[in-house]
Chain A
Amino acid sequence: MYESPIREKLILGGKTYHDISSDICRPLENKASKGWWIGFTLSAIVLAVWIYATTYTMLVGIGAWGLNKTVGWAFDITNFVFWVGIGHAGTLISAVLLLFRQKWRMSINRSAEAMTIFAVICAASFIVSHMGRPWVAYWPIPLPNAFGSLWVNFNSPLVWDVFAISTYFSVSLVFWYVGLIPDIATIRDRATTKLRKFMYNYFSMGWNGSTRAWHRYEMISLILAGISTPLVLSVHSIVSMDFATSLVPGWHTTIFPPYFVAGAIFSGFGMVLTLLVVGRVVLKQEEYITLEHLDAMARIVMLTGTMVGLAYITEFFVAAYSGVEYEQYAFINRATGPYWWAYWTMMSCNLLAPQVFWIKWARSTPWFLFVMSIIVNIGMWFERFVIIVTSLHRDFLPSSWTMYAPTITEVSILIGSFGLFFTLYFLFVRYLPTINMTELKSILVLKDSKHSHDKSEKGEAHHG
């Protein structure tokens, strides 16, 4: 019987199991390349900007920012939502695509999960710095205290957010680490230096590849994926409820949770593309992260971008249909008011630009994908800016209408947070395998193999 190939092969170049180990471990076993040092140094310099600007904010207070009494939330929360959103693609790739049995996720899930963790660290840093008094950042946690037993308000979405973000961070970290253990064991057994042997042995927790352990491992991976899927949906839903449960026109919409989740996946895939289009060339992983993988990610970018665009239009429709004049004004003001340029940047980057992915060339040309991924990142940053600032700056009383502009400190914190993110990412690339070797080995089709043990989902042509 002849089965037609549904997809291109996921791993090119006729690799063996050993080739996979050597190729993926090469960046962390060899001396760091010049490119790595340049990238790491640049990131570290930008990180220094972040440290300076954040410290300055903590010493001076929120007065260092451009906030005023009408616009009390602006750059800080824009950046928080932006970074949390970016994190979502990692969980989507590793958990949702695992449940849907999308094998192409295996080349990209490790780096996407790393991206999740680092992005959530960046997001958390904005939460802490926007508090004004970061030394009391533990107040949203329900601890017994001496303020007359004053507990936190569990009816507040901001408290839900504390639980959601910290659960999301710790569960993602566990999921990532569990996925890393067999790969750490591979590096341990290949190690040539004493220090590397010791470190990777320490973190491999004695993994020895026993079938009994693998049996349990498969089970917990499946359950972790199963619980991470609703978790990732809940986290951005709760982030959106920070806005949606308020009474501010432009925020008070029931469409927010699905709209935020779609936007999060969209922006996250944008960031994954940014990282991987460059990473696959620099780390010489073109045979593992093939054009087919980039194509699949571009399709998701297009799909979620269109969903987000649909949400923008739906919001307009609902405002018009509601007959509430405040609601209607908020949206007219968004599109034609003083921040019109931000609104139309958002619309063109998020709804219009991804439509080029209907064309095959656009989905399979790396340099173009890189440009598009930057556009997506810019568009999604502006989406949050538009939602937050344009809804606030003209409130119910025209006498308090005002404009908001960020100060140099705020811009430095935003730029610096990219330094934090990329410093962590460069360290990850240097010390951990950026591709899940064990999963890749399980989908590898050996050249001389009569049949594969898992033929149904390989997308390979079988003769027999």
Chain B
Amino acid sequence: MLLGVYDNPDTVLEATENLIKSGYDIKDVYTPFAVHGLDRVMGIKRTRLSTAAFVFAMIGIASALTLMIYTSVVDWQMNIGGKPSFHIPTYIPITFELGILFTAFGMVSCFFIVNRMFWGRVTDVIDIRVTDDTFVIAVNVHEKTDVKALENSLISNGAIEVRERINEI
């Protein structure tokens, strides 16, 4: 794996675009902040986390309604001030709140799972400066790859440094 180190988000965006056009297999680009357009250039498919969020919202709404209807209609009806036990308008606030609660926790848990993030994970950063001010393009090197040409195109696209990395991340 060959790493091109850059110091500017614009350069890294152009470099990624050019390298992909030249047919190189880019593993990932590591940036200190979300560089807009980079995901599009790399051809990353739109994440399905938004669908997950919707599903969790529906689960939350269904659980809230089930809870309220079961407890106050099926299991034990209470007469408080002569008001009806089964009254959908007064169920709205809690249904809404539980919908939000399930969405937030469900979606964020899915986010951690797909990113393989967990507390205490041993971090393998590609370059220690990548969380500060450095942008790194990681290009997979295959048997057929012309390493010299790849190195040149990384540099000609503005890399301040080119390094090799043996281990997979």
Contacts and interface: CB of A to CB of B under 8 A. Distances in A.
Contacts of B152: none
Interface in B67-90: 67-68, 71-72, 75-76, 78, 80, 83, 85, 87, 90
Contacts of A185: 123, 125, 131
B104 A171 contact: yes
Interface stretch (B17-25, B38-46, B142-150, B160-168): B38-46
A370 to B, nearest CB: 32
Given A215-B44, A234-B97, A227 B125 contact: no
A153 B83 CA distance: 11
B94 A159 contact: yes
A159 B97 CA distance: 12
Contacts of B49: 216, 219-220, 223
A17 B157 CA distance: 21
Contact of A160 (B32, B94, B125): B94
B104 A224 contact: yes
Contact of A189 (B34, B105, B132): B132
Contacts of A453: 9-10, 13, 35-37
18 contacts: A142-B67, A150-B76, A151-B76, A154-B72, A155-B83, A163-B98, A167-B97, A170-B105, A189-B131, A204-B123, A205-B117, A208-B126, A211-B42, A212-B28, A213-B115, A217-B34, A223-B53, A453-B37
Nearest to B89: A155
Given A190-B132, A219-B50, A206 B100 contact: no
Contacts of A223: 49-50, 53, 103, 107
Interface stretch (A29-37, A76-84, A441-449): A441-449
Contacts of A210: 28-30
A219 B117 contact: no
A88 B80 CA distance: 33
B75 A151 contact: yes
B68 A154 contact: yes
Contacts, number: 206
A142 B87 CA distance: 17
Contacts of B28: 210-212
A229 to B, nearest CB: 10
Interface in A1-59: 16-18, 21
A209 B111 contact: no
A167 B53 CA distance: 16
Nearest to B133: A17
Nearest to B13: A453
Interface in A68-122: none
Given A163-B94, A189-B128, A207-B123, A155 B80 contact: yes
Contacts of A201: 120, 122-123
A368 interface: no
Closest 8 CB pairs of A and B: A206-B121, A17-B133, A205-B117, A151-B71, A215-B39, A160-B93, A214-B34, A442-B33
B148 to A, nearest CB: 26
Given A189-B128, A220-B49, 5 more contacts: A163-B93, A163-B94, A163-B97, A214-B38, A216-B115
A18 B133 contact: yes
A261 interface: no
Nearest to B35: A453
A186 B117 contact: no
Contacts of B93: 157, 160, 163-164, 234, 238, 241
Interface in B39-66: 39, 42, 44, 47, 49-50, 53
Contacts of B67: 142
A142 B91 CA distance: 14
A154 B126 contact: no
Interface stretch (A174-182, A332-340, A419-427): A174-182
